[in-house]
């Protein structure tokens, strides 16, 4: 019963994030996406949330999940991976959900190639956290919690 009354936070991960742990560890660290899921789940439980943690390499599937989150999720934390820099479709989907959105990145996208400096998602996000490795996700959860509790 208590479990069901908890708010849900949707954590969305875009393309290639399923490869964390082996993918460019000098940039993204050695933790796997499963490790991040476990950290987020336990931190979320501590703050009183159920974490719905998902990953897809498909832009359309991410759009579907964003659309379905309306009225079901309290907030969205999203690392859209490379779609951050390319996807008007994700922007449009996020624009319509009317719940808090926190954009996260493991790496500091502003210290990397110029094409990573622009995000289609940032204009509809409450805020952006990047550059703190897996801790970016935990900081995003704290930020969502702050927004939901004012």
124 binds ligand DQA (CB under 6 A): no
Question: Under the criterion CB under 6 A, does residue 81 sit at the interface with ligand DQA?
Answer: yes
Q: Residue 110 Cβ, how far from ligand DQA at the closest point, in Å?
A: 10
- Cα 86–chain centre separation: 16
Q: Which stretch binds ligand DQA (CB under 6 A): 31-39, 64-72, 101-109, 137-145?
A: 101-109
3-state SS track over the chain: CHHHHCEEEEEEECCCHHHCCCCCHHHHCCCCHHHHHHHHHHHHHHHCEEEEEEECCCHHHHHHHHHHHCCCCCEEEEECHHHHHCCHHHHHHHHCCCCCEEEEECCCHHHCCHHHCCCCCHHHCCEEEECCCCHHHHHHHHHHHHHHCC
* Catalytic residue list contains 145: no
What's the CA gap between 107 and 134, in Å, rounded?
9
Minimum Å gap between C-beta 108 and ligand DQA is: 8
Would you count residue 109 as binding ligand DQA (CB under 6 A)?
Answer: yes
The answer to whether residue 57 forms part of the interface with ligand DQA (CB under 6 A) is no
Instruction: Tell me how far, at minimum, the Cβ of 19 lies from ligand DQA, in Å.
Output: 9
* Closer Cβ to ligand DQA, 6 or 116, answer by number: 116
Report the length, in residues, of the chain: 150
116: contact with ligand DQA by CB under 6 A: yes
Of the listed 49, 105, 120, 145, which one is catalytic? Answer: 105
Residue ranges that bind ligand DQA, judged by CB under 6 A: 16, 79, 81-82, 84, 105-107, 109, 116
Residues designated as active site: 28, 105
């Amino acid at each position: 019963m208590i479990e069901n009354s908890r708010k849900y936070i949707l954590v969305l991960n875009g393309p290639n994030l399923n490869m964390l742990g082996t993918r460019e560890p000098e940039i993204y660290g050695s933790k796997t996406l499963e490790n991040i899921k476990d950290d987020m789940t336990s931190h979320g439980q501590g703050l009183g949330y159920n974490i719905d943690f998902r990953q897809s390499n498909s832009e359309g599937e991410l759009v579907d999940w964003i659309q379905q989150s309306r009225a079901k999720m309290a907030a969205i934390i999203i690392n859209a991976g490379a779609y951050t820099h390319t996807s008007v479709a994700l922007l449009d989907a996020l624009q319509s959900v009317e719940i808090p959105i926190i954009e996260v990145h493991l790496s500091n996208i502003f210290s990397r190639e110029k094409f990573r400096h622009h995000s289609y998602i940032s204009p509809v996000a409450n805020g952006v956290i990047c550059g703190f490795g897996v801790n970016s996700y935990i900081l995003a959860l704290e930020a969502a919690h702050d927004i939901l509790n004012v």
